[in-house]
Amino acid sequence: MSLWIIYIALLLAAVGALIVIILGIIGTYLIIVGRFMRYSPPVPSSGKVKNKMLQDAAEYLSNKSGLEIVDLGSGWGTLLLPLARQFPHHRFVGYELSFLPYYVSKFRTRHLTNLQIVRQDFYEANLASADLLFCFLLPDEMRKCGDNLLPSLKSEALIYVNRFVFPNIKPDRTVSFGSEYETFYVYRLDRTGHE
């Protein structure tokens, strides 16, 4: 009889442990997925759009110094790294929240004293002194950015936007290589109108 009680107790303990393990796995999964799905995925700007955006921005930055260039979600450092190398007299700041892109870009840019990668939500950053910004975010985030962040920028700041536009705001320029996936937009708030 007492042996049965021990068996049942062991069985209950095993079932309890299994439930705790399953709940732990589900909880961890939800935390990780929730964490990563909060932001746009770290897809870098690439191809013709990346090259032309960099060339266009470089033309604007040349013959100037002391400007502040910001990437709103700097990913792997794809845009800021070549520009910071080319323009040691400008200051570059990348805001990146995702764990892996942040540490990889920190490592890639470790020798550049004019480039800072910050693990911070760019909505909490002071962007009032930014002269040129890059932005490649999903449509929902573009809407949020347009509503909450654009009003805090200098009106003469240039904003390079890859692929997804700020809703209801006309870009100053559109540069397209065919499809909407190969298009970027340049905004200058003192020149753009509302649609």
Ligand X SMILES: C[S@@+](CC[C@H](N)C(=O)[O-])C[C@H]1O[C@@H](n2cnc3c(N)ncnc32)[C@H](O)[C@@H]1O
Footprint on this chain of ligand X (rule: CB under 6 A):
39-40, 42-45, 71, 73-75, 78-79, 95-98, 101, 121-123, 134, 136-137, 141, 162
Dihedrals phi, psi of 183, to nearest 5 degrees: -135, 140
Considering the complex, what minimum distance in angstroms separates the CB of residue 96 from ligand X?
5
Q: How far is CA 10 from the centre of its chain?
A: 50
Residue showing the smallest CB distance to ligand X in the complex: 73
Nearer to ligand X, 87 or 122 (CB): 122
User: Within 10 A of 97 (CB to CB), how many other CB atoms are there?
Assistant: 18
Nearer to ligand X, 82 or 189 (CB): 82
Considering the complex, what minimum distance in angstroms separates the CB of residue 48 from ligand X?
14
Considering the complex, what minimum distance in angstroms separates the CB of residue 40 from ligand X?
4
SS3 108: helix
Considering the complex, what minimum distance in angstroms separates the CB of residue 168 from ligand X?
20
- How far is residue 88's CA from residue 151's CA, in Å, rounded to a whole number? 29
Q: How far is CA 140 from the centre of its chain?
A: 13
